[in-house]
Amino acid sequence: MRSYYFDDLPGDQPLPHDSTRPVSEETLTALGVLYTRVPVDAEGRWEDRVNDIATERAYCNHDVMSISKEGLGDEFEATMKMFYEEHLHEDEEIIYILEGSGFFDVREHATDAWVRMHLEAGDMMVLPAGIYHRFTLDMGNKTRTMRLFKDEPKKAHPRGGEADVNPSRVEYLKSFPGITSVA
């Protein structure tokens, strides 16, 4: 996994948009984003490790999404647009890349800048509840991703309005020093 600040320049969303300003794993951890590497192997040892992580974090559900133009056909553009819309979830979410690669962007709370993470097969990321984020494929244009959930997947809340005062967002913001309430 490689992480850096998004350059905010015009261009297709699957382009790297690399500002050349790296973001450290410590910065990601401060945002509540956790990263680990679980290499995908033919022997299936990755499954045992993912199951161990799911048990440690009290996850009981998962799904596997295969995203490609070939696989989604006419729904591809609409699906990619939906995933790229800035949103939050009310629960923590684990993402594990089984095949292919893509970009997850998260909002840095203090600056509102996008932090872009390029994930490839074997990369696992934990997003905290209440963090604004989005996803897009990279130029490889395909991925197979496992998402793990504590319960059933909950709907995404687009940024703004009700999402800004959603209890999961409020709790996320309170995790930062000096923030005691959200207006």
The pTM of this model reads 0.91
Q: Give pLDDT tens digits for 119-158.
A: 999 999 999 999 999 999 999 999 999 999 888 777 899 9
Looking at CATH, the fold of the domain delimited by 2-174 is given as Jelly Rolls (2.60.120)
Q: Is 17 annotated as a binding residue?
A: no
- Where are the chain's structural domains? 2-174
DSSP 64-94: EEEEEHHHHGGGHHHHHHHHHS-EE-SS-EE
Q: Is 89 annotated as a binding residue?
A: yes
Q: Give pLDDT tens digits for 97-109.
A: 999 999 999 999 8
Q: Is 109 annotated as a binding residue?
A: no
C-alpha dihedral sign at 39, 40, 41, 46:
positive
